[in-house]
């Protein structure tokens, strides 16, 4: 049994209500073409940028998620609502809501790894200046599939994908908006890496490129199979991509290359790190300071 997926690479402008209406129109179009699950890009109701998040933010439920709930119900499809700037209790989050075909919100995911990078002369972006990171995983079931959600920068963290694989996910969906610096080399590579090392499906959904925006998205919405193969991809214009998720494929790949029976967990046991010598150097949002592998340990 397969799940028909639609990945909506939509154009996003500065008018929030227009963005919402446009997303709903494209969801209807995808549903009419037979999609059972329709996924939107990161930050689809707002331009992407720290200066926009507060102005475009809203609570959940709010105008954006209520519109998506209605269209999910009208079209009887699952909707993965990309992400929006969410306001809650004085904080802002980058949040994805998921809607069932009856319009109910069945999952909510707040971006866990905030996009803070500095590539001198190319790009500096600090989401943590305005956003708070989420701390919860989000999975849901759609037909034969269990699906895990991450948002954009989250795809760089192999651990998140691995945890979702352990939770039984067949497909990981990453609404994202890579840029003209990291997109060309990293966007597809990261999707293939996460798919291949966990032997599952991965798809990443970008907004279409707007050359006049302050943040220029790479586009190239893509879906990758459990063999690491690109199933469907595109350039940077607005479009909807379709692909089928076949859970049986995971079984086949995992039988052919049985990584899950071959892991040497007893050799690479994880240990907690010692307390940082200088607490001021510990990273924001990294409240556990991570776990690290004890490289001196060996098992005879």
Ligand X SMILES: O=C(O)CCC(=O)C(=O)O
Residues with catalytic roles: 42, 111, 152
Sole binder of ligand X in the list 178, 194, 209, 236 (CB under 6 A): 178
Q: Contacting ligand X (CB under 6 A), which of 109, 115, 140, 164?
A: 115
- Near ligand X in 243-282, by CB under 6 A: none
CB nearer ligand X, residue 95 or residue 179: 179
Binding mask 29-48 for ligand X (x = CB under 6 A): -------------x------
- Which region, judged by CB under 6 A, interacts with ligand X, from 4-12, 17-25, 141-149, 179-187? 179-187
How many chain residues interact with ligand X (CB under 6 A)?
10
Q: Give me 287's structure tokens.
A: 């409240």
Residue 285 interacting with ligand X (CB under 6 A): no
Specify whether the CB–CB gap between 12 and 47 falls below 8 A.
Answer: yes
- For ligand X, the binding residue among 153, 164, 174, 201 (CB under 6 A) is 153
- Contact between 82 and 175 under an 8 Å Cβ cutoff? The reply is yes
Neighbouring residues of 105: CB distance < 8 A, sequence distance ≥ 6: 60, 61, 65, 69, 97, 98, 99
- The rounded distance, in Å, linking the Cα atoms of 273 and 255 is 35
DSSP 74-94: HHT-EEE---EEEEETTEEEE
How many beta carbons lie within 10 A of that of residue 300, not counting itself? 2
In the three-class reduction of DSSP (H, G, I as helix; E, B as strand; rest coil), residue 60 is classed as coil
> Taking CB under 6 A as the criterion, which residues in 49-88 touch ligand X?
none
Residues 4-23 that bind ligand X (CB under 6 A): none
- 257: helix, coil or strand? coil
Dihedral through CA 197, CA 9, CA 140, CA 143, nearest 10? -100
Position 156 contacts ligand X (CB under 6 A) = yes
Which C-beta is closer to ligand X: that of 157 or that of 242? Answer: 157
* Residue in 9, 46, 57, 182 binding ligand X, rule: CB under 6 A: 182
State the residues that interact with ligand X by CB under 6 A: 42, 115, 152-153, 156, 177-179, 182, 186
């Amino acid at each position: 049994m397969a799940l028909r997926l639609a990945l909506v690479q939509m154009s996003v402008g500065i008018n929030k209500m227009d963005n919402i209406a446009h997303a709903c129109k494209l969801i209807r179009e995808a549903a009419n073409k037979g999609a059972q699950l329709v996924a939107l890009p990161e930050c689809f109701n707002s331009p992407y940028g720290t200066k926009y998040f507060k102005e475009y933010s809203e609570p959940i439920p709010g105008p954006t998620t209520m519109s998506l709930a209605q269209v999910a119900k009208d079209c009887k499809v699952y909707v993965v609502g990309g992400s929006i700037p969410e306001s809650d209790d004085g904080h802002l989050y980058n949040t994805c809501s998921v809607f069932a075909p009856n319009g109910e919100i069945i999952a909510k995911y707040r971006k866990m790894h905030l996009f803070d990078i500095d590539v001198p002369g190319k790009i500096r972006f600090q989401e943590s200046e305005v956003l708070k990171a989420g701390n919860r995983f989000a999975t849901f079931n759609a037909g034969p599939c269990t699906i895990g959600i991450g948002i954009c920068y989250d795809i760089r963290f192999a651990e998140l994908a691995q945890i979702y694989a352990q939770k039984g996910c067949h497909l990981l969906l990453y609404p994202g908006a890579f840029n003209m610096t990291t997109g060309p080399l990293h966007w597809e590579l990261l999707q293939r890496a996460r798919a291949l090392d966990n032997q599952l499906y991965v798809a990443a959904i970008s907004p279409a490129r707007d050359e006049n925006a302050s943040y220029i998205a790479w586009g190239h919405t893509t879906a990758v199979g459990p063999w690491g193969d690109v199933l469907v991809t595109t350039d940077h214009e607005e479009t909807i991509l379709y692909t089928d998720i076949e859970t049986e494929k995971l079984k086949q790949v995992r039988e052919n290359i049985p990584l899950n029976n071959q892991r040497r967990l007893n050799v690479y046991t994880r240990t907690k790190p010692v307390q940082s010598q200088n607490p001021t150097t510990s990273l924001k949002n990294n409240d556990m300071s991570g776990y690290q592998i004890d490289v001196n340990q060996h098992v005879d």
